[in-house]
Amino acid sequence: MMSRSYTNLLDLAEGNFAALGPAGGGARRRSGSFGMKRMSRVMTVPGTLSELDGEDESEPAATNSVASDVPSSVSGERLLVVSNQLPIVARRRPDGRGWSFSWDDDSLLLQLRDGIPDEMEVLFVGGVRADIPLAEQDEVSQALYDRFRCVAVFLPESLHDRFYHSFCKRQLWPLFHYMLPFASSAPTATSSSSSSSSAPPAGNGRFDRGSWEAYVLANKFFFEKVVEVINPEDDYVWVHDYHLMALPTFLRRRFNRLRIGFFLHSPFPSSEIYRTLPVREEILKALLNCDLIGFHTFDYARHFLSCCSRMLGIEYQSKRGYIGLEYFGRTVGIKIMPVGIHMDQLQAVLCLPDRQWRVSELQQQFEGKTVLLGVDDMDIFKGINLKLLAFENMLRTHPKWQGRAVLVQIAKPVRGKGKDLEAIEAEIRESYNRINGEFGRSGYSPVVFIDRDVSSVEKSAYYTIAECVVVTAVRDGMNLTPYEYIVCRQGTPRLESSSEVTGPKKSMLVVSEFIGCSPSLSGAIRVNPWNVEATAEAMNEAISMSDQEKQLRHEKHYRYVSTHDVAYWSKSFIQDLERACKDHFRRTCWGIGLGFGFRVVALDPHFTKLNMDSIVMAYERSESRAIFLDYDGTLVPQTSINKTPSAEVLRIINTLCSDERNIVFIVSGRGRDKLGEWFSSCPKLGIAAEHGYFLRIN
């Protein structure tokens, strides 16, 4: 077995993982060739993109392919939305026989369809949020494809565990949210103890190569599903979020001219954080195989660009409002556009009779009270405990709120697990018990903590009755809670006659400055959630503000949120993706490089890649030749520390110079002294030193 420390990324990208064994660590994979070691191609054949597409990697598709009924040539453009999870809700049938599926109306991936042109069909590729037994997977795949145009990706359980719980949730997710792993290697509940490596498992989120391999392998499973349905000539692929950052390399290797977009929903951290990631270059290079990379905020994009500059030496250019990275002749576009909410979906919920009934109930429950509301996922970055501490501080420093202010905190259970989460949950419990113990009295609980799944109807009822929403996340990619709140407080024209919507609309927000939605909410009170006292003051200020001021701020926010909805975001992304890809069919391209170093070199069609035979023929035919040779990267490897030309190089140069028909020059930025010294044994060689400022002509 190969050593664990091997860094052959070609193998990694090919899916040959020592740590996972020949079939991906017991992966019950049905495709014939997977897991067999194959030599990767280093493309040396020149050609246009269309010539090269699909010529590589003749792996058969998995046998549970749903593509049997996909027309081989689908007319019209399609969009393949690839994400860790499909926008599907799966439920076991009550009789235990089979599954029932429905669209997940709350999923942003589903909602983004509204911004996609009608003539563009949308297909989804992703995992299913349910444990579907192996024996049922084929049937489920077919049903999902037939009924929803969803292509299901099933990962073997052990792989899923290492991909999702270990690499995604314990390594990437914390790091992207600015949490560096501790140096200690004490294993935790979810560390990858099943890894076959001899190295100790990573604890506390420390990088673990076995989990990284699982991540790459899982990305390859997604890639294979895309391959089953893709029509590379017509389709666009839009990959979502940090789970699938290796996918663009697999796609680009197979389909050189595929139109690929990627959107990162989480933050992209500062380069000082990102550069601690041992696979930092691999991930950057994989993303650069896209045509367009999207971020919620300017800061996330700026961090990504500085990582590209500092770690890969690639600089960006900004032209007429578009930012692009020149990457081997291709321009990789950078898109900055925060996501939005689905207005119709939320407004439809607002009109449900159930909700109106729930609103009245809550109005009675909190009569005479001022409700501050928190709606968060129960994860380690949402700063729920900081919010409780700030609320406690407010009750203490502004006693007028004792008996009057209530903090309702909805904490949605999440799929992640681990000791950190358990510790945070315990801390939160302790805080609200303490606050309720100290300030509570008969008929008054200052904190109402709801740690169960709350339906969209109930959530919108809470939004409606809340005077202020408080978000104290210490990091969050975007966070749409404030947007949902604003829309619910606005209500809909259909509610105008009901008793719940009376008078001018108003809302108030206290939001962390560390979340993606913060820059778009100029009327919110922005806080540093680590500063508990300042957050307490902000809460007091928010609920004490005059109605007129609350109304003005609300109106400003509503104008923005209602016009920058999810359809606006997806439409804008697809338009930019189309624009970024408009030259795809004009360019001459070569795929080069191994593993994650793979990239497509794109050139204007007037360029031709030199072919060895034609060079030799031209050389032999010519009567007089001028030969200009660069030095670094041409005569000595770019990476070598010893820059002195080898004896072999000197011999070849002297051979070239000895032919009367040749004039040979070294052209370099290097100084004349060094070049003169190095080539003192080549008397017939010309030297253009310092970019031609000094010439030695012989």
Ligand X SMILES: O=P(O)(O)OC[C@H]1O[C@H](O[C@H]2O[C@H](CO)[C@@H](O)[C@H](O)[C@H]2O)[C@H](O)[C@@H](O)[C@@H]1O
The region of 194-202, 302-310, 477-485, 677-685 touching ligand X under the rule CB under 6 A is 477-485
Number of residues binding to ligand X, judged by CB under 6 A: 14
Compare residues 132 and 341 and give the one whose CB is closer to ligand X.
341
Contact track, ligand X, 83-102, x by CB under 6 A = -x------------------
Least CB distance from residue 266 to ligand X, whole Å? Answer: 5
Compare residues 174 and 477 and give the one whose CB is closer to ligand X.
477
DSSP-H helix ranges across 28-184: 49-52, 108-111, 134-148, 157-160, 173-176
Interacting residues of 457 by C-beta distance below 8 A, sequence separation 6+: 349, 352, 354, 355, 358
With tokens 């030309």, the residue in question is: 645
Compare residues 467 and 476 and give the one whose CB is closer to ligand X.
476
> Given candidates 156, 477, 523, 593, which one binds ligand X under the rule CB under 6 A?
477
Per-residue DSSP letter, 429 = H
* Residue 486: other Cβ atoms inside 10 A: 29
Compare residues 140 and 478 and give the one whose CB is closer to ligand X.
478
> Given candidates 420, 458, 476, 565, which one binds ligand X under the rule CB under 6 A?
476
What whole-number distance in Å separates Cα of residue 657 and Cα of residue 688? 16
Longest dimension (CA), the chain: 106
Compare residues 108 and 657 and give the one whose CB is closer to ligand X.
108
The footprint of ligand X on residues 151-170 (CB under 6 A) is 168
Least CB distance from residue 306 to ligand X, whole Å? Answer: 21
Least CB distance from residue 103 to ligand X, whole Å? Answer: 16
Per CB under 6 A, 266 contacts ligand X:
yes
Per CB under 6 A, 108 contacts ligand X:
yes
The footprint of ligand X on residues 329-348 (CB under 6 A) is 339
> Given candidates 150, 325, 480, 538, which one binds ligand X under the rule CB under 6 A?
480
> Given candidates 29, 113, 206, 265, which one binds ligand X under the rule CB under 6 A?
265
- Helix, strand, coil % (nearest 5) of the chain? 40, 20, 40
The region of 74-82, 362-370, 401-409, 478-486 touching ligand X under the rule CB under 6 A is 478-486
> Given candidates 394, 478, 545, 688, which one binds ligand X under the rule CB under 6 A?
478
Enter the tokens of residue 587: 């360019």
Compare residues 543 and 561 and give the one whose CB is closer to ligand X.
561
Compare residues 34 and 167 and give the one whose CB is closer to ligand X.
167
Per CB under 6 A, 484 contacts ligand X:
no
> Given candidates 228, 282, 377, 458, which one binds ligand X under the rule CB under 6 A?
377
What whole-number distance in Å separates Cα of residue 48 and Cα of residue 62? 29
Enter the tokens of residue 346: 């939320």
Residue 335, burial from CB neighbour count under 10 angstroms (0-12, 13-18, 19+): buried
Least CB distance from residue 167 to ligand X, whole Å? Answer: 11
Compare residues 14 and 476 and give the one whose CB is closer to ligand X.
476
Compare residues 295 and 631 and give the one whose CB is closer to ligand X.
295
Per CB under 6 A, 112 contacts ligand X:
no
Least CB distance from residue 473 to ligand X, whole Å? Answer: 8
What whole-number distance in Å separates Cα of residue 16 and Cα of residue 667? 43
Per-residue DSSP letter, 161 = I
Compare residues 122 and 311 and give the one whose CB is closer to ligand X.
122
Least CB distance from residue 109 to ligand X, whole Å? Answer: 10
| Whole-number Cα distances in Å, 313 to 96, 285, 325, 691 | 56, 12, 11, 21
CB 59 within 8 A of CB 30: no
Least CB distance from residue 347 to ligand X, whole Å? Answer: 20
Compare residues 263 and 316 and give the one whose CB is closer to ligand X.
263
Residue 195, burial from CB neighbour count under 10 angstroms (0-12, 13-18, 19+): buried
Q: Any idea what the Cα angle at residue 19 is, between residues 17 and 24, rounded to 5°?
A: 55
What radius of gyration do the chain's Cα atoms show? 30
Per CB under 6 A, 668 contacts ligand X:
no
Compare residues 40 and 266 and give the one whose CB is closer to ligand X.
266
With tokens 């792996």, the residue in question is: 59
What whole-number distance in Å separates Cα of residue 590 and Cα of residue 583? 15
The region of 92-100, 206-214, 269-277, 476-484 touching ligand X under the rule CB under 6 A is 476-484
The footprint of ligand X on residues 404-423 (CB under 6 A) is 414-415
Contact track, ligand X, 48-87, x by CB under 6 A = ------------------------------------x---
Compare residues 255 and 295 and give the one whose CB is closer to ligand X.
295
The region of 110-118, 472-480, 650-658, 687-695 touching ligand X under the rule CB under 6 A is 472-480
| Whole-number Cα distances in Å, 417 to 159, 191, 423, 431 | 16, 11, 11, 21
Compare residues 384 and 685 and give the one whose CB is closer to ligand X.
384
DSSP-H helix ranges across 564-671: 566-580, 612-621, 647-658
| Whole-number Cα distances in Å, 303 to 272, 275, 360 | 9, 11, 47
Least CB distance from residue 85 to ligand X, whole Å? Answer: 7
| Whole-number Cα distances in Å, 178 to 181, 187, 264, 570 | 10, 21, 15, 27
Contact track, ligand X, 220-259, x by CB under 6 A = ----------------------------------------
Compare residues 84 and 507 and give the one whose CB is closer to ligand X.
84
Interacting residues of 452 by C-beta distance below 8 A, sequence separation 6+: 413
SS (H, E, C) 607-637: CCCCCHHHHHHHHHHCCCEEEEEECECCCEC
Least CB distance from residue 337 to ligand X, whole Å? Answer: 11
333 - beta bridge partners? Answer: 292, 324
> Given candidates 479, 512, 535, 570, which one binds ligand X under the rule CB under 6 A?
479
Least CB distance from residue 247 to ligand X, whole Å? Answer: 15
With tokens 């999207």, the residue in question is: 294
Return residues touching ligand X (CB under 6 A): 84, 108, 168, 265-266, 339, 377, 414-415, 476-480
